[in-house]
Chains A and B, each alone.
Chain A
Amino acid sequence: MFVLQKDQIEKLLLALKESYALYGPTLHEVSGQVLFDEIADIKSLNINAAIPYNPPKYTVFPQFERILSYQYNKSTKEAKIAMDNLQKPKALVGIRPCDLTGILCLDRFFMGQEFVDEVFVEHRKKMFIVANTCVTPFPQCFCVCTDSGPSAQEGYDVNLTDIGDVYLFETGSPKGEEMAKKLGLAKASAEQEGMKKKVVDESISKFEPVAKENKAWISRVMNRITTGFIPNEVWEYIGNQCLECGACSFVCPTCSCFNIEDVNTLDGKTNRLRTWDSCSFEGYTKMAGEHNPRKPVEDRRNKRFFCKLSYSQSKKYLRPGCVGCGRCARVCPGDIGLPNVVTYIRREITRQV
C-alpha cells in the first residue's frame, strides 16, 4: 500500500489523462445532480461527491452505440460492412465499489459466457480503474447486503481510501503498481494501513437500519425466487405498481438487455445501433407476427427480479445480480425498487412460517 497526499489527486488525474479519456463523478451545474460523466477539465472531477445519479455502466455499454455500419449498392450489388466502434482507452476515477462490482458483473456476463461480446470487449479492454472506498454510505445504499461494498475487493487498478489527512493508495494490478511508481508515492506505514479497517468498519456501522436488517434476508429471498416459492399474488401486487417506464433498468449498474436496430442514413448508409432496452416494456418479447409469449406485467417484473436475485442468473455473474446501489428505489415511480421487493417477499415468508 502507498500513500497519496490529498493534493496529489490532481497529479494522478494528469498522469491518467496522458493516455486515457477521464470519467468520474462531477456535479452537474444545471440539474444540481452528481453524474458520472466524461471529465474534460480535471478540476470538475469531484471524488468526494455523492453516489452518481447514473451508474458508469455506459462507459462499457453505452445507451446508444453504433456497433457496425454497412452500405449496399443496389445496382452493383456490392455490400461493404465495417465494425467501426473503435474506442479510446478510458480511465474511470472515483468509481464506487457497488458500481465497480456492476462492471465486473457485466464483464462476466459479456465476456465470460459461451460467447464473447466483441463490442463490449472493445470498450473494456483498455481501461484504468480507480475505485474509491465509501467512508460514508448514502441513505439509499445497501451494498452491505449484497457483498459489494463499502470497500472494493477486486477489479481495480488503484483503490483509494480516505483515512483522514491522506488517501491510502492500494494497487490491484501491474498498471496500478506502475502508476504508484510514476507518481513517486511513499509506502504507507503499518499504522496507516491499519486505518483502512477502522474506516470501513465505521462506514458499515453508519448504514441505515433497513439495509442492515435486510442483510440476512437477501439470501433467503434469493432462495425463494430461485425455487419459485413465491405466491403469484405477491408478483401481482408488485406488478400492479409497475408503470413500465423502464427507469429501473436504465439506472441499474447490472441491467444489460439491449435492442438492435438498423437505421438508414440519408447518404445511403445503414448504422446498426445497439440501444438499452428493458424487460419491463411490453413489446420486449414480441415476435414478428404479433405473438407475444410473455404478457402480464407481473411476468415482466418477475423477470427483472429473477435476473437480480436468482441462483441461475448468479451463476453468470458469480454473485447476486444486484449490487446494492439503491438507484432503482430512487427512480421508481411505483415504489417497487429492489429493497422494497425484498421487503414484500420477506413479509410473505414471515407470514407463511
Chain B
Amino acid sequence: MSDKSAFKILTVPEVAVVDEIKDEIDEVKTFYLSFENKEIEKKFKIKSGQFIMCTIFGAGEFAVSLPPSPENDRFHISVRQVGKVTGALHQLKPGDKVGIRGPFGNGFPFEEIKGKNVIYVAGGIGLIPLRSSIVHVLQHRNEFGRIILLYGSRSSKDLMYRYNIDEWLKIDGFETYVTIDREEPGWSGEVGFVHNLIGKAKVPTENTVAFVCGPPVMFNAVIKELLSQGLSEDDIISTLERHMKCGIGKCQHCAIGRTLVCTDGPVYTYRQIKTLGEQI
C-alpha cells in the first residue's frame, strides 16, 4: 500500500509545462515537465516505482512510469510511441502543456533494502522504470552493499539513457555492465543476452535484492538465472504494466488475478507475480 497521507492528484489533472524534450532512442523521447501551479510543484513528491496518469489534451490519458529519482532530479517521463495518446505526446513541442494525476502505486522498496546488495537487471526500455531507483540508490551509495547494473538491448542504438550510462560507468563502486545482442563495429562492451551477465558479474545472493524489468522473454531468462544462482523469489522485484484508466483502484482494467496493478502494484515480488495466475 502506498502512503495514504502523501499528496496525490486524484481526479482533476494539474497542468504541467513541457520544458524540454530529448530524443532518446528510436520512438522514445524524454519530456521534462514542471507544474504550472507552483504550490503543486512543491507538494508533488514521488517514490521510485510509482507512476502518473498523463493527459495529452484532446487525445486522452495514459499511465506512465516515473524515471526520476525522488530526490534532486528533474521531473520527467520517458515514453515510447505505441498508440494514439503516446503518438500525440510525441507531437508536442517545448512550451506545450499536459495534465498530470498521481503519483499512484506502491513503489519500489528503499528504506527496507538499505544495507543490502542491489542488482538491477534491465532489458531495452525496461531501464525506464528502474532509473528512478538506480539514481536514488546511487545518491545514497554508502547505505547499500554492492550496487550492480546489468543492462542489455538489441543494439547500441537501442540503449536508453546513454548519457546516464556513460556517467554511471565512471562511478567508483557502481558495477555497470552493458551488453548488446550482436557484435557491432565500434562496440567494445559486452555482447550477448543480459542474463549471461549474471554469472559474469558474480552477483551476490546473500542479503541481496534484484530489480528486474524488460520484455517477457528477457524477463523469464533472467529470473531463471537469478533463481539458479540462489536468489529467493521474495528478493526478486519487478514492476508490471497494465492497461489503466483511473489509477485509483476503481475502473478494474488493471486487475490481475486478485490484485489491482494500480493500487496493489505496480511493484511486485517474483513470488507474488507467480501467484497472480495470469501472463505478465
Please give the distance in Å from B39's CB to the nearest CB on chain A: 16
B278 CB contact (under 8 Å) in A79, A117, A119, A293:
A293
- Asked if A83 contacts B11 (CB within 8 A), the reply is yes
Contacts of A303 in B (CB 8 A): 255
A115 to B5, CA, bound (A): 11
User: Are B11 and A289 within 8 A (Cβ)?
Assistant: no
Residues of A within 8 A of B249 (CB): 113-115
Q: B274 near A: Cβ within 8 Å?
A: no
Known A72-B57, A119-B11; judge A81-B99 contact (CB<8 A).
yes
B242 in the interface (beta carbon within 8 A)? yes
Known contacts: A72-B97, A289-B83, A293-B256. The answer to whether A117 contacts B243 by CB under 8 A is no
Given A77-B96, A115-B10, A115-B248, A286:B243 Cβ within 8 A: yes
Asked if residues A299 and B97 are in contact (CB atoms below 8 Å), the reply is no
Distance in angstroms between the alpha carbons of A335 and B108 in the assembled complex: 45
Q: How far is the CA of A155 from the CA of B246 in the complex (A)?
A: 27
Knowing A114-B1, A293-B278 are in contact, say whether A262-B61 is a contact too (CB < 8 A): yes
Interface centre among A110, A289, A312 (most CB of B within 10 A): A289
**Chain A contacts for B96, CB-based, 8 A:** 77
Partner of B258, one of A68, A277, A284, A310: A310
Interface size class of B (residues with CB under 8 A): 35 or more
Query: In the complex, A258→B99 CA distance in Å?
Result: 21
- A65–chain B nearest beta-carbon distance, Å: 13
> Of residues 266 to 310 in A, which have CB atoms within 8 Å of B's CB atoms?
270, 272, 277, 279, 284-289, 293-294, 299, 303, 306, 310
Chain A residue with the shortest CB-CB distance to B56: A262
CA distance A283 to B255 in the complex (A): 14
Give the complex CA separation of A258 and B1 in angstroms.
23
Q: Which of A77, A109, A257, A264 contacts B253 (CB under 8 A)?
A: A257
A51-82 interface code vs B (CB 8 A; 1 in, 0 out): 00000000000000001101010000111011
Measured between beta carbons, the chain B residues less than 8 angstroms from A257 are 251-253
Taking the nearest CB of chain A, how far is it from the CB of B53, in angstroms? 10
Contact B82–A289 (Cβ < 8 Å): yes
Measured CB to CB, the closest approach of chain A to B14, in angstroms, equals 8
Instruction: Report whether B12 and A83 are in contact in the complex, using a CB–CB cutoff of 8 Å.
Output: yes
Contacts of A272 in B (CB 8 A): 61
A81, A115, A116, A117, most chain B CB atoms within 10 A: A115
Does A213 make an interface contact (CB < 8 A)?
A: no
Interface: B199 (CB within 8 A): no
Looking across the interface, which residue of chain A has its beta carbon closest to that of B258?
Answer: A312
Chain A contacts for B253, CB-based, 8 A? 257, 259, 277, 284-285
Write the nearest CB–CB distance from B260 to chain A, whole angstroms: 9
B31 interface residue per 8 A CB criterion: no
Structural contact, A258 and B82, CB atoms closer than 8 A:
no
In Å, the complex CA distance between A83 and B11 comes to: 8
Residues of B contacting A288 in the complex (Cβ-Cβ under 8 angstroms): 62, 82-83, 85-86, 243
Residues of B within 8 Å of A277, CB to CB, are 251, 253
Chain B residues 42 to 80 lying within 8 A of chain A, measured CB to CB, are 55, 57-62
**Chain B residues within 8 Å of A113, by CB:** 249-250, 263
B181 within 8 A of A: no
Take A77-B96, A285-B242 as given contacts and tell me if A117 and B250 are in contact as well, using a CB distance cutoff of 8 Å.
Answer: yes
The answer to whether A262 and B60 touch across the interface, beta carbons within 8 angstroms, is: yes
Instruction: Tell me the bound Cα distance from A181 to B205 in angstroms.
Output: 73
A256 touches B (CB below 8 Å)? yes
User: 1/0 per residue B192-208: CB within 8 Å of A?
Assistant: 00000000000000000
The listed residue with most B CB atoms (<10 A of its CB), out of A67, A272, A299, A312, is: A272
Known: A77-B96, A110-B250. A287 touches B1 (CB 8 A): no
A260 is an interface residue with CB less than 8 A from chain B: yes
Given A115-B248, A256-B250, A294-B278, A270 contacting B83 (CB threshold 8 A): no
Residues of A within 8 A of B (CB): 67-68, 70, 72, 77-79, 81-83, 109-110, 113-119, 228, 256-262, 264, 270, 272, 277, 279, 284-289, 293-294, 299, 303, 306, 310, 312-313
- 21 A-B pairs with C-beta separation under 8 A: A72-B57, A78-B97, A79-B36, A114-B249, A114-B263, A115-B10, A115-B249, A228-B277, A256-B252, A257-B251, A258-B246, A259-B245, A259-B251, A260-B246, A262-B59, A279-B255, A285-B254, A285-B255, A288-B62, A294-B279, A310-B258
7 further contact pairs, Cβ within 8 A, besides A77-B95, A287-B243, A288-B82: A114-B248, A117-B246, A260-B61, A260-B245, A279-B255, A288-B62, A293-B280
Q: Which 8 pairs across A and B sit closest by C-beta, in order of nearness?
A: A288-B83, A72-B57, A115-B248, A289-B82, A257-B252, A288-B82, A262-B60, A260-B245
